[in-house]
Amino acid sequence: MSLGEALPKEMARVRDEVMPAYLSIGLPGSYALASMRMELDRAAKAMAEGDVAAMARCLASLKGFRA
């Protein structure tokens, strides 16, 4: 799978699977949610700019988020 395919899939996983778990616990999950949102924004920017190095960093970072 290419980086251009893997990054959007990982973004969707974090958004659709991981973030809801943190939302469900309320205030204690707010710091992690802020970190996830920031990384999702970075990933979207990297993809829009075609910055392959940044895309790879974002992919690695997003993989670290777990529910």
Q: Using one digit for the tens of pLDDT, what is the confidence trace for 12-29?
A: 999 999 999 999 999 999
Cβ-count burial 34-58 (b if 16+ within 10 Å, e if not)? eebeebbebbeebbeeeeeeebeeb
Read off the pTM.
0.92
Residue 66 is predicted with a pLDDT of: 95
Which ranges of 1-67 would DSSP assign to H, the alpha helix? 3-13, 19-24, 30-49, 52-63
CA angle 25, 36, 26 (to 5 degrees): 15
Q: In angstroms, what is the C-alpha Rg of the chain?
A: 12
Which residue range(s) make up the domain with 19?
3-63
How many domains does the chain fold into?
1
